[in-house]
């Protein structure tokens, strides 16, 4: 059951990231600029 919960949380986080990306674009920010991108 832990795996399903992890999957749901991952899916939710991806959706939230997408929304943040769009919000940043709407306010004139570059979502890809240094300091906003996640270091991998």
How many whole angstroms separate alpha carbon 25 and alpha carbon 27?
5
pLDDT at 23: 95
How many whole angstroms separate alpha carbon 15 and alpha carbon 8?
11
pLDDT band at 36 (very low <50, low <70, confident <90, very high): confident
pLDDT at 39: 64
How many whole angstroms separate alpha carbon 20 and alpha carbon 10?
15
pLDDT at 40: 56
The structure tokens 């986080």 sit at 13
Position 37 pLDDT exceeds 90: no
pLDDT at 1: 47
Position 5 pLDDT exceeds 50: yes
pTM: 0.61
Q: Under a CB-based contact definition with an 8 Å cutoff, are residues 17 and 10 in contact? A: no
């Amino acid at each position: 059951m832990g795996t399903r919960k992890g999957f749901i949380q991952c899916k939710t986080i991806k959706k939230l990231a997408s929304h943040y990306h769009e919000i940043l674009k709407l306010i004139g920010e570059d979502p890809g600029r240094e300091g906003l991108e996640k270091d991998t």
